[in-house]
Copies of this chain bind each other. A is one copy, B any other.
Amino acid sequence: MKRRTTSSKTEILEVLKSSGNAMSHEMIQTELHRKVDRATIYRVLNQFCEDGKVHKIVGDDGKQYFAFCMNCGEKKHVHSHKHLHFRCLECGKVECLESELSLPLPSGYIGKVHNLLVSGYCRECGSEEGNNFS
């Protein structure tokens, strides 16, 4: 199944690139100039993930976020990356953090690490109070 270039694909990728953060399908939709159907957005995003252009993060809210990771750059996406995603509990923003992570897995566990999500408050929202993590 050979991929075809379409304006939907181009624009969605552009939105992700210029945002630099992980976005839900809804956030992407509102950033697009033309109206693109939800189903199409999902299909395009999943293609991007298959192709390694974008990666998918499941937030602690159970929703899918998609990111063109600045750290991974343009190069083929390494699926088993070792960096963190940070989701702000205040503004909901999901970012890719550069921090390298050394992960202490018990022996016997094969596990390249992925989809590592940390929640808290980002630089902008950072308020000490109300740290009601669930």
- A contact residues vs B (CB 8 Å cutoff): 49, 56, 58-64, 79-80, 84, 86, 97-101, 103-106, 108-123, 126-128, 131-134
Contacts and interface: CB of A to CB of B under 8 A. Distances in A.
Main secondary structure of the interface of A (DSSP, over half): loop
Nearest to A80: B133
Contacts of A63: 62
A112 B120 contact: yes
A117 B84 CA distance: 11
Contact of A99 (B106, B117, B127): B106
A133 B79 CA distance: 6
A104 to B, nearest CB: 4
A115 B86 CA distance: 11
